[in-house]
Amino acid sequence: MTRYDRKHLIYLYWRESWRRVRRRLALAHFALTRATVKIPERLVVAPTDLRIIDPFVAEEIIADRFPLAGRMMATEGESPFLLPPPSPAFEARLHAFAWLRHIRADKSDEACLKARRLVDQWIQTQGKRFDSAVWSVDIAAQRLIAWLSHSPVVLQGAESHFYRRFMKSIAVHIRYIRRMTEHCALPEARFRARIALAMASMALPLKPSAVRKAGLDLDRELEAQIGADGGHISRNPRVALDLLFDLLPLRQTYVNLGHDVPGRLIQGIDRMYPALRFFRHQSGDLALFNGATATLANELMAVLRYDETAGKPFRSLPHLDYHRLAAEGTVVLVDTGMARSSDLSRNAHAGCLSFEMSSGRYRFVTNSGAPKFAGGDYRQAARVTAAHSTVVVNETSSAQFSESDFLGPVMIGGVETVAAERDQSASGADRLLASHDGYLASFGLIHERELVLSADGARLRGADRFHPRAKKGATPPPSHATARFHVHPAIAIVPKSDDTVLLAAPDGESWLFSCPGFLVEITEDIFFADASGLRKSEQLEISFSIAETPEIRWEFRRA
């Protein structure tokens, strides 16, 4: 470890220690003042929930079976909040209460009574365990949004004593989130907390000054987290979609109640839509960069139907450092950036210079993506460079991750500088040349990738080069490289020769991939981001010695 790395680690430990101290102090202050919360008399409005409803889930919950996060838990009449959860992801989903929306598919007295009993069980068993994981800022904010949005279901036929407990718990959530949000390390969790507080300021009969303050806090978060190009600072395409699910109903609630809409809210939503469309493939799926996972078509359409910005997607997102090459039904998306801070790196992937390619209705080349419900080991495996369509040196990731439980999975080394330039040839071909220094400290190498998409979209030429930049007097270790192209599970791979394979989509569209002079191997792979869970897939691998061959050239050509 270099002297710089040691200094950086010491700083990260010091900062995390100080954050935890401030969090404990804030939690102690909250505990002392919790009894003084004023119980609201009533709810003024229930914000809309745009997420998809599944009647099957409602039937299962009414029958004491909870199908959440890819798992099923049968409670047999016991409270689900007192049983050991089958996975951390299941626990988070259960306590976030987003599943309440499915009860709307069955608004019978029986269904509403079931929802009310479950909320009451949670209040009785978990309502005061503020130091538990289910009271993290993110889960608490999701729970508050769900309770407000689905209060008509929860309160249908409610007795006065439950109504009072429910309103008191909402007031406690509001005060807790206000106290704890600034001590939350995850930016998207802070954003969701500000949305929850803004929703609560309108859903309850609060003073106009409280509504204005919640709107100003939301404005500040919008300004800090949504770049000028509309992308979220996490660099995860999926985060913007999840935030829009809550921002759109919030905007409509401001309008419906006649409140002044926060100044940044409408502008922020209008900026986010083009960025969301930027990451959309021809297939309708979102690209899998930096923690993005499976996106169902109906999820995306539920948000895109409110898009009023129109127009073609941008060619690049300069603040997020992504590029989009598109021509005649072919789309290539390229990651040319890195996490801007340690907090923003908690879910970031070591995928600099990776790309995805789609044509027609299918994605041919992809990244492995992040698992939707799998445990921490799989999530960490999905973050390494080998899980992305780029080149790996000595099977080493271009960014290193902390294994400390104290720090969490932040990046502690890797890419520090990325350069990218874009131009167009006389023939109309779109060219991107980019490089990163993620292998400079370890191997004395700069990785450069060139991508050229022809004007007719029928040919994507690529080159990967390594430039030695060893420090004076230092001898870099011998380096072996592996270029990986992860193929989407829906695509069939047919070998044609040692250096050529055919990629065929179910609808008949096919592409030839070749790397002249090199063996193209077809190896087993895992697609982490499938909607049904981890899925077996295949990848193309090209291995070479950097000392002997510092450059390889390859090509995708529509067959």
pLDDT tens by residue, 491-541 = 999 999 999 999 999 999 999 999 999 999 999 999 999 988 899 999 999
| Per-residue pLDDT, 473 | 56
CA angle (252 as vertex; 250, 253 as ends), nearest 5 = 65
* Token pair for 196: 């929850």
* Token pair for 361: 């209705």
358/333 Cα distance (integer angstroms) = 9
Residue 9 has pLDDT above 90, yes or no: no
Name the band, by pLDDT with cuts 50, 70 and 90, for residue 270. very high
What does the pLDDT average to over 401-426?
Answer: 90
What does the pLDDT average to over 325-337?
Answer: 96
| Per-residue pLDDT, 2 | 43
Residue 349 has pLDDT above 80, yes or no: yes
What does the pLDDT average to over 419-429?
Answer: 92
* Token pair for 139: 């889960």
pTM reported for the whole predicted model: 0.93
Burial class (CB in 10 A: 0-12, 13-18, 19+), 388: buried
Provide the 10 A C-beta neighbour count for residue 263. Answer: 14
DSSP alpha helix (H) spans, 312-418: 376-381
112/108 Cα distance (integer angstroms) = 6
| Per-residue pLDDT, 1 | 38
Cβ atoms of 419 and 505 within 8 Å: the answer is: no
DSSP 8-state secondary structure symbol assigned to residue 396: B
86/70 Cα distance (integer angstroms) = 10
- Summary mean pLDDT of the chain: 92
Which one of 99-108, 125-134, 234-243 scores highest in mean pLDDT? 234-243
Residue 251 has pLDDT above 60, yes or no: yes
Provide the 10 A C-beta neighbour count for residue 103. Answer: 25
State the number of CA atoms in the 13 A half-sphere of 12 facing the CB.
24
- The share of the chain scoring above pLDDT 90, in percent, equals 77
What does the pLDDT average to over 430-448?
Answer: 94
Q: Which residues contact 287 (CB under 8 A, 6 or more apart)?
A: 237, 279, 280, 281, 333, 356, 367
| Per-residue pLDDT, 382 | 95
* Token pair for 147: 């309770």
What does residue 458 show for φ and ψ, rounded to 5 degrees? -95, 0
